[in-house]
């Protein structure tokens, strides 16, 4: 959400509401957030976090990406 102009927390919540009601499968790549955690718990979605070093940073900074799906997913990155 912080990387794109005009993309708000309200937009993200609208996306999660839409994903809550689709009939097909989805796989969402995003960053950790309280609202995402709430939906994961409430909807019993599968998720896992991937921690990576930021390539453009020399200070050892890491970023966390969250993969979330409405079907069972396996963490192949461990």
Q: Look-up: residue for tokens 């996306």?
A: 15
SS3 18: helix
Cβ distance 51 to 62 under 8 Å? yes
Convert the pLDDT of each residue in 27-77 to its tens digit.
999 999 999 999 999 999 999 999 887 766 567 678 899 999 999 998 766
Predicted pLDDT of residue 21: 96
Predicted pLDDT of residue 61: 78
Contacts of 8 (CB under 8 A, 6+ apart): 1
Q: What is the pTM of this model?
A: 0.80
Please write down the HEC assignment for all residues of 19-47. HHHCCCCCEEEECCCHHHHHHHHHHCCEE
Predicted pLDDT of residue 75: 73
Length of the chain measured in residues: 78
Domain definitions of the chain by residue range: 9-69
């Amino acid at each position: 959400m912080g990387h794109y102009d005009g993309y708000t927390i309200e937009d993200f919540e609208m996306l999660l509401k839409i994903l809550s009601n689709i009939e097909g499968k989805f796989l969402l790549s995003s960053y950790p957030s309280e609202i995402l955690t709430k939906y994961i718990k409430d909807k019993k979605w599968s998720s896992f976090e991937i921690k990576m070093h930021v390539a453009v940073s020399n200070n050892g900074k890491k970023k966390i990406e969250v993969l979330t799906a409405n079907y069972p997913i396996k963490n192949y990155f461990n």
